[in-house]
Amino acid sequence: MRDPELYRMKDEDTEEQRDMMEVNEASQAEVNDADEKHQVVKTIQEVSLKGTLRPGDKTLGWRFPKDEQMRTHSGGNPFACDQCEKTYKIQKQLVQHMKTHNRVKPFVCRHCGKSFSYMGALKNHLRIHTGEKPFTCQHCEKILSCESQFKSHLKIHTGEKHHACDQCGKSFKCESALNIHMRIHTGEKPFGCDHCGRSFRSRSNLKVHVRFHTGEKPHTCRLCGKSFTTAAHLKRHVRIHTGEKPFMCHQCRKSFRCVSALNIHMRIHTGEKRYTCEQCGKSFSFMGSFQGHLRIHTGERPFTCQQCGKTLTSNGSLMSHMRTHTGEKPYTCQHCEKSFRCSGQLKVHTRIHTGEKPFACRQCEKSFKCSSQLKIHVRTHTGEKPFMCHQCEKSFSHTGNLRKHLRIHTGEKPFTCEQCEKSFTSKYILKNHMRIHAEEKTFSCYWCKKTFRCESSLMKHVWTHSGTENLACP
């Protein structure tokens, strides 16, 4: 059975992954392209800036005083945007950045009509259509389409992270990544969605979000044609075809296709339970398990079996239930080859062979193979009987006993002997009955060695030796 928590993850990219797209976009803004100069002169002249910005040198596009040129070496960022407080080393970079606020996008792609603020950004975009990737990493032979991505990628091999957060100490490969990270601490979300008003820390996060409104899915799998809203989603999807699972758990060596799946898996080892029910205080490691639990309180059972009409609280439970109709048992024990409908049943069964009993009672130190057995056992100490019969108000410690009891009222006898077709209310009674046909007598009296087919018959016999109903057979 596939974990519903993993389905939830198909829509989640970590914000840092998407924030790195913002880093690349910010890097593209620094492209010095001579062609751009002639097409945006009018726009640049309209920007109000205090300084000595003026058209001039053909090689640089603009001339700067020497003290401004020196700031590129000293590391200072004296030019700040008055709208978002982003800082730059030279005025030209600030002017280019201002176009993002003024919505000036004079460079249009002839293939898809998409507009860009910079000629360099358009050139990078065109490589999506041409498939050109001119930058090759000498360390790992990875090929990339733009120089800014290439430079950022090289730092993976060098381990270079010169930009550190002064609040949490986390380091980053470039200053723009640090600036985006700082918004986690400040709570700043300067990029707002025009459709729903939701705000985001980075432009790339907003860009991805807007696609949910527009339905745009620009990233298409070449193997199956399925489309995705982000390149990261596509990259993760392609691993389904390749079978690649690059993220490995160092504790159990299990591998995963994406880092988010690994992070969720790690909660099994750490015992972290971040989702807590406000009604009963029970905690869960996975969102899917938590959501399924909440339906116990609400009574919601949104998943319906098309064959028998039974309703269930989760899609995973429905898939497992459907196998009762199909007879499918895809999970097989490696020790005895017994098969099961769901992985949870196999996991508990395997403990019969290993002897593992990881769930211990804190009051009597008795151990159990699964948490549900421990939960039922604890009620022998607390006296709790939460399951009540609505017909006679008798209470029971677990649902199995309640179900058996209800058959007294309904007259239902679902367990039938294949040899004589006699029916019984429980599997235990049927099992005892089957000994009549097998002539099996497994219960022996300690005093006279007389044998009996069931334990209850033995107990009645023991009373004949003692004369009291309280004596148990040693």
- Bridge partners, residue 171, by sequence: 164
Residue 160: pLDDT over 50: yes
Q: Which range among 126-130, 141-145, 160-164, 360-364 has the greatest average pLDDT?
A: 360-364
Query: Are the beta carbons of 5 and 289 closer than 8 angstroms?
Result: yes
Lowest mean pLDDT among 21-25, 170-174, 191-195: 21-25
Domain boundaries defined on the chain: 77-160, 217-270, 275-354
Residue 67: pLDDT over 50: no
Query: For residue 117, is it left (φ>0), alpha (ψ between -120 and 50) or beta?
Result: alpha
Residue 267: pLDDT over 50: yes
What's residue 83's pLDDT? 72
More confident residue, 61 or 390: 390
What's residue 85's pLDDT? 64
Q: How many other C-beta atoms lie within 10 A of the C-beta of residue 244?
A: 13
Residue 14 structure tokens: 């970590």
What's residue 27's pLDDT? 39
What's residue 336's pLDDT? 92
Residue 87 structure tokens: 């800082």
Tell me the whole-structure pTM to 2 decimals.
0.41
Residue 346: pLDDT over 80: yes
* Domain 77-160: CATH class, spelled out: alpha beta
Residue 56: pLDDT over 60: no
Q: Which is the CATH superfamily of the domain at 275-354?
A: Classic Zinc Finger (3.30.160.60)
**Dihedral through CA 446, CA 448, CA 453, CA 455, nearest 10?**
-40
Average pLDDT for 82-95 = 77
What's residue 467's pLDDT? 58
> Matching CATH topology for 77-160 and 217-270?
yes
Dump pLDDT digits (tens) for 198-226: 999 888 889 899 998 999 999 899 999 99
Locate tokens 């069964």: which residue? 349
Q: Rounded distance, CA 191 to CA 245, Å?
A: 34
Q: Which is the CATH superfamily of the domain at 217-270?
A: Classic Zinc Finger (3.30.160.60)
Dump pLDDT digits (tens) for 383-410: 999 889 999 999 988 888 888 899 889 9
Choose among 356, 350, 355: nearest CA to 335. Answer: 350
DSSP letter string, 14-56: -HHHHHHHHHHHHHHTT---HHHHHHSHHHHHHS--SS---B-
Q: How many other C-beta atoms lie within 10 A of the C-beta of residue 378?
A: 17
Lowest mean pLDDT among 145-159, 316-330, 370-384: 145-159
SS3 62: strand
